[in-house]
Amino acid sequence: MSLISSLLLILVAGPAPQPASDGAPLRNCRVVDGDTLRCGHERIRLLGIDAPEMPGHCQKGRRCAPGDPFASRASLARAMAGRLTIERIGSDRYGRTLGLVRGPVGDLSCWQLRTRQARYRADWDDGSTLARRCREAR
């Protein structure tokens, strides 16, 4: 392809979409439960942790995290006050984005572990990514 053809293709089609970079800002976020956020249309599951399920969400036969789901959700909401950024890792079987989200208190997964509002799940930690970032996950 000639240089002129390449330039015309870029002008007509626009630049190729870029993947979200580390530290991409998040807006319009709200807490779903102690390990899940909704930011606009995107559902985000915090990497490597499991928080107590809201009433009615722990299906029969499933081993759900112990604890108070309302306290866990409130803890995450407090930690989200301010600017949030995300490092997207992938997606889970439910189509949610798996990510490391940072706010004013630092990494939100680490925050939930530090405040004992979630438990660490090594089998949900992509390549020990969270374990390398926060002491509470080791």
* 1-5, 45-49, 73-77, 134-138: segment of lowest average pLDDT: 1-5
Give the per-residue pLDDT at 18. 35
**Domain residue extents for the chain:** 24-137
Q: pLDDT digit string (tens) for 61-112?
A: 888 899 999 999 999 999 998 999 999 999 999 999 999 999 999 999 999 9
Burial 16-54 (b: 16+ CB within 10 A, else e): eeeeeeeeeebeebebbbbbbbebeeebbbbbbbbbbbe
Give the per-residue pLDDT at 22. 67
C-alpha–C-alpha distance, residues 87 and 85, integer Å: 7
Backbone angles phi, psi at 19, to 5 degrees: -65, 155
Fold of 24-137: OB fold (Dihydrolipoamide Acetyltransferase, E2P) (2.40.50)
Q: Tell me the C-alpha to C-alpha distance, in Å, between residue 36 and each of 4, 16, 31.
A: 47, 30, 6
| pTM (whole model) above 0.85 | no
Number of Cβ within 10 Å of residue 115's Cβ equals 17
C-alpha–C-alpha distance, residues 116 and 77, integer Å: 15
Q: pLDDT digit string (tens) for 20-60?
A: 446 899 999 999 999 999 999 999 999 999 999 998 888 88
- Please give the full DSSP string across 73-112, using - where no structure is assigned: HHHHHHHTSS-EEEEEEEE-TTSPEEEEEEETTEEHHHHH
Q: pLDDT digit string (tens) for 115-130?
A: 999 999 999 999 999 9
